Amino acid sequence: MKTKLTLRLDEDVIERAKAYAAARGTSLSVLAENYFRLVAPDDQASGGDGATAEARADWRSALPPHARDLVGSARGPETESLRADDAAEEAYRRHLETKHR
């Protein structure tokens, strides 16, 4: 059930929030609801990760456009590549120590 909520905020905060919402094609109500869902999750409805299915589906729309374009573009490092990177880093560190003696 949707219920009305009245908030008292500084005028400049309201104007900036309206501009932020408009730039993202959403409303202040949706922004506020998504924020409250994130900071005060209903763990029973969330599947354990702190966000409801609706909030999980909508989190990308709250990102700035340039950040939204980057979602999913990076991969986490593989365990083997981490070991290789550590070995290479150690070898380079030893090289620099020898070079600057």
What tens-digit pLDDT sequence spans the chain (101 residues)? 888 989 899 999 999 999 988 998 889 998 888 888 878 877 644 455 555 666 566 677 777 777 777 777 666 655 555 566 677 788 888 888 888 87
Q: In the 8-state DSSP scheme, what is residue 51?
A: S
Q: Which amino acid is at 7?
A: L
- Do 52 and 38 form a contact (C-beta atoms < 8 A)? no
pLDDT score at 40: 80
CA distances from 80 to 30, 61, 77, 83, 84 (A): 43, 35, 8, 5, 6
pLDDT score at 75: 62
CA distances from 13 to 7, 20, 69, 88 (A): 12, 10, 27, 50
pLDDT score at 46: 46
pLDDT score at 10: 94
- Do 98 and 92 form a contact (C-beta atoms < 8 A)? no
pLDDT score at 18: 92
